[in-house]
Amino acid sequence: MEKERILKNKHTDDLIDHYWGTISYLTSLIKASELKAGLILSFYGILLNFIYQSTENFSDKLSNDTFLYILIALWVACTAASIFFCVRCFIPKIEGKFTRNMFFFKDIISKFGDIKEFSKTFFAMSKDEDTLFEQLGEQIFIISKISHWKFRNVKRAISLLAIGLIILFFTGIYHFIFILT
């Protein structure tokens, strides 16, 4: 009987570590998506600074070439959309359409009463393994949704960055060929 209880407690400990490890992993994915978005924005800052400094040399050589202006407009549109998705990644995403959860900061302060009531409810819930794992599982689901949303924005930003760089490359080639002829 005692050995059975020790094994059950060991399994519960492993489950708790598994759930919290999953939450930690998902939280690190959210941080990684925001880091990637920040790196993309930094790259744009360097690129736009370089383009701004270079335009002084080329502004007198620009002609009324409609195709060149279309390429520039396409590049600006891709760049603006990419920056939009990067900034969108930094916007806090809160999933509040679910049942109250003891591990969600907004629910803690708004749905469980004052500090004493929350503390008692949290302690009681922590002793009830089924409720504890249900609450942790719900939180894992919600954090996964947030992570997915942020990475979808980063993926869009990277795709638009790549398209924009291709357009910029062809714009540069077209401009230099046009100047040389």
Closest CA to 132 of 9, 12, 22: 12
pLDDT confidence of 59, banded at 50, 70, 90?
Answer: low
Domain of residue 65, residue span: 2-98+126-176
Mean pLDDT of 134-158: 94
The overall longest dimension of the chain from CA atoms, in Å, is: 91
For 71-127, write each residue's pLDDT tens digit.
999 999 999 999 999 999 999 877 767 888 888 888 888 888 899 999 999 999 888
Q: Is residue 68 part of a domain?
A: yes
For 18-55, write each residue's pLDDT tens digit.
999 999 999 999 999 999 999 999 999 999 998 888 77
Q: Is residue 7 part of a domain?
A: yes
Nearest-angstrom CA–CA distance, 17 and 38: 31
Q: Is residue 57 part of a domain?
A: yes
Closest CA to 36 of 177, 146, 135, 161: 161
Nearest-angstrom CA–CA distance, 78 and 84: 10
Closest CA to 76 of 47, 53, 54: 47
Q: Is residue 114 part of a domain?
A: no
Does the pLDDT value for residue 9 go beyond 80?
no
Q: Is residue 116 part of a domain?
A: no
Is there a contact between 146 and 30 (Cβ–Cβ < 8 Å)? Answer: yes
- Of 42-46, 55-59, 140-144, 169-173, the poorest mean pLDDT is in 55-59
Q: Is residue 105 part of a domain?
A: no
pLDDT confidence of 58, banded at 50, 70, 90?
Answer: low
How many structural domains comprise the chain?
A: 1
